[in-house]
Amino acid sequence: MADGRQFALQIRIGAFILAGLLVFVAIIYLLGAQARYFERKYDLIAEFTEVGGLMEGATVRLAGVQIGRVTSVVLPPEPGGKVRVTLTVARRYSDRIRRDSEVHIATQGLLGDKIIEISLGSPSAPPLQAGDMLASKESFEMQQMFKTGVETLQTVRELAASLKGTAERVDRIAKQVETGKGFVHTLV
């Protein structure tokens, strides 16, 4: 009788452990499916003169839809070269990324996280294969920020020069009042 109870207890413990393992495997599978760990992928390459804070793990989008991640950002081996960015994308989108597709760096959200945007290519262009180079275009955002920064700096310089001239004139008038010369002194 004691053997029967012990056997039943062992069966219950075994079933509990098996159920726990099944739940664990299901959670791993669901998380992996959501993160696309089990999906077939391939790499594409893009080169930029400036990446503006793009980091490994950044999102890669095709026409606004997330299709992959940035897996490496490597400085050029020689000065004056371009920064090489490796993009790992889901293979199921390989027929949409064409030879004439273009890639650029964009900003996402209020915090300014950098992402990669790939444009859809034309249907007549052949699809890119693993390891192929995407045509990159410099980010309009970065060009615009640089241009705005230069314009702002020029405005600040002009304002500083104007303020300097105004301060000199005020100083001259104050000295005239102090020494008893000029029109302002006669009024006071």
Give the pLDDT band of residue 40 (cuts 50, 70, 90): confident
Distance separating alpha carbons of residues 31 and 29, to the nearest angstrom: 6
Give the pLDDT band of residue 43 (cuts 50, 70, 90): very high
DSSP β-bridge partners for residue 72:
86
For the cut 70, the answer to whether the pLDDT of residue 38 exceeds it is no
Helix (H, G, I), strand (E, B) or coil at 40: coil
CA trace torsion 138, 144, 150, 155 (10° rounding): 170
Task: Please compute Rg for the chain using Cα positions.
Answer: 33
Q: What is the pLDDT of residues 129-143, one digit of tens each?
A: 988 999 888 766 556
Evaluate whether 97 touches 89 at the Cβ level (below 8 Å): yes
pLDDT on residue 117: 93
Q: What is the pLDDT of residues 58-111, one digit of tens each?
A: 999 998 899 999 999 999 888 888 999 999 999 998 888 999 999 999 888 777
pLDDT on residue 187: 60
For the cut 70, the answer to whether the pLDDT of residue 1 exceeds it is no
What distance lies between CA 153 and its chain's CA centroid? 26
